[in-house]
Structure 1
Amino acid sequence: MPAITRNLHKLSSPPQLKRRILRVRGTDVTLLDEVRQMAIADLGFDIQHESLDFLTCQHRAAMDPMNYDIYEQCFHNLDIVWYWGALQPIETRRIKQWDNIGDLAKTGGISKYTWTGHGDAPVRKLYVQPDGTLGQQPMPTISMLPTAHNVDSFGYDTRLFGAEGPEGSSWAWLLDRRARGRIALVDEPAIGIFDAALAAEANGDLTFQDIGNMTVDEIDSLMALLETLRQQGFFVGSWVSPDQAEALVHADRVSVQSMWSPSYANLGPMKDVFRESFPREGYRAWHGGASLARHLTGSKLDMAYDYLNWWLTGPAGAVMARQGHYMTNAEGLREYLSPEEWGYWYDGDIARCDLKGPDGRIVVRQGQRRPGGAYRERVSRIALWNTVMDEYNYAARSWNRFIAALGAATP
């Protein structure tokens, strides 16, 4: 082909359109590849996940807002990111399912008779107030779209503690002398410290005026107690990722430890002896969500709203349900679950057949009932939310010193 003809051919060829990309920064709680692939198929643009550990995610979200479009984490991580001006308000008029979002996030409880719980309940920082701060007075803009959430407790070995009675277990088991040398805590200052505080209060060692917002003296007392127990050999170690918690169970090194819902399906032969608790004192809860980066405008902002709205359409919520989490507009995902799945995960029914998780493996055996029962039962018993306290920096430094000493002493 003559050169001039080749050049004319290049000029006449249609330009290659660059595929649109939405960048999502978050943690592996919600940044699941199955969810990403479904969203890409439904929305028609690419989605890039940047999955980080809890502390790194929060820090980068606050200090590096230009390199993500959507921030997915939890309400208790929000204050720091919002304070640094990394996010922009979400207009509820652009959220198609806003009216169907549950009252747990919007008002603080599933009914007016339900106590909100100590700490960072979503409603306390959901709405953007006229002065730009976050609060619970309803406004037309919000800081974070409420999505996946759950209530957590701890796992325990029935060979040591026996089966729970009808009144449930107790957080005191997490510091129980019977489990000395076989106790593990989750290494996250806004989570693990509260598991320990709930245990210390339940066993009568300490009391807190407000367990969700401890004073310096209360933090010192808690950490002194934990250090004493560490020196007495109570703890086998700590964990950061759920697979580390599961490994401790597989190796039969723990009798009681902090645990998150998806892990109970990954315990192999230990599944029959290591159980999820439903503490009589109530659960420690968390609520995830998605926020908009401050730099979004125009068509990119429209993409981001499409993504937020997609999260509430049902498919993502079904994936969350199959690993034990809940979605804030439960009825929207009902058609994506089988009646047996809905009955077990949301209604608290005995499983009428084996149920599979997101990866296709069986996670619930026929005849099992979810510890704690139905959704309404479980979220009606929230004692405390994951929280960044007023004295968070002091608590985090104290906690990190304890974890460092614990790691150095762990075989």
Structure 2
Amino acid sequence: MRKSKARLSQPAAPALHLHGRPVLRVLGTEITLLESVRKRAEADLGITLCFENLDFISAQRKAAAQPTAYDVYDQCFHNLDIVWFWRAIQSIDLKRIARWSEVSDLTKTGRIHPGAAIGHGDAPVTKLYTQPNRSLGSAPSGHISMLPAVHNLDSFAYNTEIVNGHLEPSASWGALFDDRWAGRVALVDEPAIGVFDAALAAQARGEVRFDDIGNMSTTEIDHLMGILSERKRAGYFCGFWKTALESADMMLTGQAVIQSMWSPGVSALRRRGFPVRETVPQEGYRAWHGGMCLSAHLSGRTLDIAYDYLNWWLDGWVGAVMARQGYYMSVSERVRLHLSPAEWNYWYEGEPAAQDLPGPDGETTISKGETRSGGAYRQRASRIAVWNTTMDEHNYLVRRWAELVGSAPKTSAVAASI
């Protein structure tokens, strides 16, 4: 077995071919499980990668209930509670993460700089370090629950040909509940995400007040769901989507003119020349942070291979791919080495694009002269209102959310017992 000391002085090396070509199974979502990423990692590490791409809830359920069905769980910090509770994942030894010292303060402390807002809810630092009693917390230790990787500051987007003139780029979240757009508003169908877009909108319009928007009581959840249910009965929402491409399709067909939206959906629309704009919410962004966990069953050679894969994610190349679809990485200076100056200045510095810029597939996504909504990374990351969060009353929220969207509750026996 290879010694972990070597990992501290050099980037991840290809996995050893002790018994044929190693295979690593990664469970995750569309956010990071891209075909270009799989091919490059296979070439760089000398392994075979099997990606299983599911929606957020399905991935979380499988990760908790079937830990032997995957080797690496690629998800978000707000999805950690259930998998950690069920001992489905093991802690990550920081001695085996070569570039840990380069990981951003946004992850390690909750703030991009000391004066920035930490935001309500599940800031990654609150679940980052494993504690002596095996709980998760912010007190630094030698082990972490998830390797911090991709993250972003989300808002909502709109069709500028229809909404333009009625909405400023720095609009309030309350615009999502503006009756002028009745029947053409969509939300993301994930209770630990979509509920916060709705909550920020309702709160901005004075329709509800939360003691802590990141950890609502059942009474507050009921109040919010009552507001949303009334709007749904009146035909206010045109739908609820699960993937970025679904959200893009809703815009393209004219079904939605203003909605929750993720960066890949916006990029897909821009490639089609669709008039879409992301907002810079007055109240701040809804933030999220993704990363990778190690399955509890890993040991020996397969565990070594998994560590190689985690370290590869911090080498920079894949961070550049993520940047081209609007996402940030926890090791931004490594990413910078793999972006052109024009790309870095647009995506991270908030400057006008000096030339047409490609998306992750190589097609032009950003036209010369465009400026990223919200400006530079440091500026955007300083304005976090709330993080995607699994609240104390998550199971209750899931049931109420399922009632809202008109489907059966998706809590499994795993989730329901927490």
Q: Which residue of 2 aligns with 1:372?
A: 374
Could you say what secondary structure the match of 1:191 adopts? helix
Aligned residues: 390
* Deviations, residues 282-322 of structure 1 (Å, cap 9, x unaligned): 00011000011111111211111111100000111010000
Q: Give the drift of 1:270.
A: 7.3
Indicate yes or no: 2:153 matched with 1:160: no
Residue in 1 that maps onto 2:82 = 80
Is 1:286–1:385's contact at 8 Å kept on the other side of the alignment? yes
Q: Which residue of 1 aligns with 2:202?
A: 200
User: What does residue 343 of structure 1 align with?
Assistant: 345
What is the CA-CA distance between 1:53 and the residue it aligns to?
1.1
Amino acid at match of 1:24: V
Paired with 2:382 and 2:194, the residues of 1 have a C-alpha distance of: 22
Q: Which residue of 2 aligns with 1:11?
A: none
Alignment of 1:315-334 (within 5 A): 315-334=317-336
Instruction: Provide, for residues 135-175 of structure 1, a one-character-per-residue CA deviation record: whole Å limited to 9, x for no partner.
Output: 00111100000000001010113332427647x11100111
In the TM superposition, what is the alpha-carbon distance from 1:93 to its structure 2 partner? 1.3
* Kept in 2: contact 1:183–1:256 (CA 8 A): yes
Counterpart position of 2:414: none
SS in structure 1 at match of 2:26: strand
Q: 1:351 to 1:164 in 2, by over 3 A?
A: farther
1:66-145 aligned at under 5 Å gives the runs: 66-145=68-147
Paired AA for residue 106 in structure 2: L
- State whether residues 249 and 270 of structure 1, in contact with CA within 8 Å, keep that contact through their aligned partners in structure 2: no
Q: 2:403 matched to which residue of 1?
A: 401
What's the secondary structure of 1:336's corresponding residue? coil
Poorly superposed stretches of 4+, deviation over 4 Å: 163-166, 268-272
Work out whether residues 87 and 293 of structure 1, in 8 Å CA contact, stay in contact via their aligned partners in 2. Answer: yes
Distance 1:72 1:94, change over 3 A: same
Distance of aligned partners of 1:85 and 1:405 in 2 relative to their CA distance in 1, 3 Å threshold = closer
Q: Secondary structure at the match of 2:259?
A: strand
> How do 1:224-373 residues align onto structure 2 when only pairs under 5 Å count?
224-267=226-269, 271=273, 273-373=275-375
Which runs of no fewer than 5 residues in structure 2 stay unpaired?
Answer: 1-17, 409-418
d(CA) in 2 for partners of 1:20, 1:274: 43
Shift of 1:130: 0.4
Matched letter for residue 71 of structure 2:
D
In 2, the alpha carbon distance for the partners of 1:240 and 1:405 equals 13
Change (3 A) 1:270 1:94: closer
Cα distance in 2 for residues equivalent to 1:264 and 1:165: 18
Contact 2:156-2:278 within 8 A present in 1 as well: yes
State the identity as a percent: 53
* CA–CA separation in structure 2 for the residues paired with 1:131 and 1:50: 32
Preserved contact between residue 270 and residue 366 of structure 2 (Cα < 8 Å): no
* Greater Cα shift, 31-40 or 153-162: 153-162
One-letter amino acid of the structure 2 residue matched with residue 300 of structure 1: T
1:143 corresponds to which letter in structure 2?
A: S
Q: Please say which structure displays the higher CA radius of gyration.
A: 1
Is 2:159–2:251's contact at 8 Å kept on the other side of the alignment? no
Q: CA–CA distance in 2 between the matches of 1:17 and 1:189?
A: 44
Is the contact between residue 265 and residue 271 of structure 1 (CA under 8 Å) also seen in structure 2? no
* Aligned residues of 2:270 and 2:276 also touching (Cα < 8 A): no
CA distance in 2, matches of 1:119, 1:182: 29
Residue in 1 that maps onto 2:5: none
Q: 1:271 to 1:120 in 2, by over 3 A?
A: farther
Q: How far apart, in 2, do the equivalents of 1:122 and 1:309 lie?
A: 19
Is the Cα contact below 8 Å between 1:246 and 1:266 reproduced in 2? yes
Change (3 A) 1:87 1:241: same
Matched, 1:30 2:13: no
What TM-score, normalized to structure 1?
A: 0.92
* Aligned-partner residue type, residue 266 of structure 1: A
Asked if the contact 2:252/2:274 (under 8 Å) is kept, the reply is no
Of 312-321 and 229-238, more deviation after overlay is shown by 229-238
Q: Is the 8 A contact 2:285 2:383 kept in 1?
A: yes
Partner of 1:13: none
Stretch of structure 1 that moved more, 343-352 or 155-164: 155-164
Residue identity in the other structure for 1:288:
G
Give the structure-2-normalised TM-score: 0.91
Where 1:280 maps in the other structure, the secondary structure is: coil
Change over 3 Å in CA distance of 1:111–1:268 after alignment to 2: closer
Q: Could you tell me how far apart the structure 1 residues matched to 2:156 and 2:216 are?
A: 22
Q: Distance in 2 between matches of 1:17 and 1:312?
A: 27
**What's the secondary structure of 1:267's corresponding residue?**
helix
Partner of 1:383: 385
Counterpart Cα distance in 2 of 1:268 and 1:132: 45
Consecutive unaligned residues of structure 1, counting only runs of 5 or more, are 1-15, 407-411
Residues 250 and 270, structure 1, Cα contact 8 Å, conserved in 2: no
